[in-house]
Structure 1
Amino acid sequence: MHICTGLFLLVIAPLLAACSTAPQDQYYLLSSTINPSASAAGQGAVIGIGPVTIPSHLDRSMIVSRSSSNRLEVLSGHRWGEPLDENINRILIENFDHTGKASRLETFPWTSRDDVDLQIVVDIDRFERQADGNVLLAARWKLIAFESGDIKAADRYEKTLAPQGTDVESTVSAMSDLLADFSIEIANDIP
């Protein structure tokens, strides 16, 4: 009886392994949620965005959330479609473009030939779903007159937003909305 069971397992195990497939990774990107301004193009300063820094615990391909104040969860199977700092920088550029505050936008690093008037430097401290389900964006930013190096404005941003659902896509959507609000707050300080 034991020999039959062993033979059955030897035959059936490879078939079961062939039928089971690992779940596919899902990829996410932040998006701009600001509607384009009706302002005429070509008005305003040339604005350079960057550098944008993120904490090293967020600098990974998998999406990270917090399960408590001191514990992170790496969401296996849920990945960023591009490095998070590059995605944030790209969306900040798109958001500022939609505010109509700049005649042109440049991405850090730029050259002296780009004639940047103002530079926006962003240091993100926290940007993940919290244990309570809300998404938190905590960041510091500076608006710098590029030629002189004078700081024209600086502030700290910290807001939370409740996602529409409990899934990862809802979390990423809430993150996009927070980036939009953050961009508008900075844009309000641009002359």
Structure 2
Amino acid sequence: MTTRTFRVLIACLALAGCGSSPKPRYYTLQMPPASAGQPSDKAQAGVVVGPVNLPEAVDRVQLVLRSGDNTVDISDAHRWAEPLKSQVARVLAANLARELGTPRVSVFGTATGVEGDLRVAVDIVDLQATLGGDAVVEALWTVRGAPDAPPLHGRAGARAKLPGTDYQAVAAAYGDALAQISKEIAATVRRAERR
């Protein structure tokens, strides 16, 4: 190797070391304001939310956005602060507590001491967003109560407009869409309580 080639190689390595990837930004799902969703009648049963399942394509630390009909962008620079599955379960439980007017709602697998008279298993079958567009959430759920009572099932889709054109707006819109889904789940829980 000539001295000139060696110097060029060293210069290239030095330049490569100067460029660094941007520091990742972290996001969480937020609950809607306390004024949203005033309960019409208080639930008496304890409710446990979970397990919650997500599509594998979005069940990752990076935010995943729809970029075309059959394409997505996975961003290493924009990440969830905690596992998305845990956040969705926590947000659904908090929304259900607000909708049902009871603090007796917990997340499956947590040590809250809430006895679960009813169990709500949720399968998020679609969770997608487009920057500058909408967030879409579609969910199936099953509410199980007494062993001799048949379970109740539900399905709903929700769409929320992103309040901006950045990744923070994606997290906010997902929270809004999950609040809409929670209203539908709460209606099923009320039906299960009346049986």
Q: TM-score range by the shorter chain?
A: 0.7 to 0.9
Q: TM-score, normalised by structure 1?
A: 0.80
Q: CA deviation at 1:155?
A: 1.8
Alignment gaps of 5+ in structure 1: none
Quote the Cα distance in structure 2 between the aligned partners of 1:44 and 1:34: 23
Q: TM-score, normalised by structure 2?
A: 0.79
CA shift in 2, pair 1:110/1:77, >3 Å: closer
Q: CA deviation at 1:149?
A: 5.1
**1:30 and 1:173 in contact (8 A); partners too:** yes
**AA matched with 2:188:** D
Matched, 1:68 2:68: yes
**AA matched with 1:50:** G
Matched, 1:118 2:123: no
**AA matched with 2:169:** S
| Counterpart position of 1:139 | 139
Between the two proteins, the alignment pairs up a number of residues equal to 185
Output one character per residue of 1:137-178: Cα deviation in whole Å (capped at 9) or x when no partner.
011112221443522x32211122220112111111000111
CA shift in 2, pair 1:103/1:19, >3 Å: closer
Quote the Cα distance in structure 1 between the aligned partners of 2:38 and 2:179: 17
| Counterpart position of 2:86 | 86
Quote the Cα distance in structure 2 between the aligned partners of 1:146 and 1:53: 23
**AA matched with 1:163:** L
Q: In structure 2, the residue corresponding to 1:189 is in which secondary structure?
A: helix
CA shift in 2, pair 1:38/1:186, >3 Å: closer
**1:49 and 1:121 in contact (8 A); partners too:** yes
Alignment gaps of 5+ in structure 2: 191-195
**AA matched with 2:159:** T
**2:62 and 2:78 in contact (8 A); partners too:** yes
**AA matched with 2:142:** K
| Counterpart position of 2:180 | 181
| Counterpart position of 1:106 | 106
User: Identical aligned pairs, as a percentage?
Assistant: 27
Q: In structure 2, the residue corresponding to 1:177 is in which secondary structure?
A: helix
**2:158 and 2:180 in contact (8 A); partners too:** no
**AA matched with 1:171:** V
Quote the Cα distance in structure 2 between the aligned partners of 1:56 and 1:38: 34
**1:43 and 1:103 in contact (8 A); partners too:** no
Q: CA deviation at 1:105?
A: 1.8
**AA matched with 2:49:** I
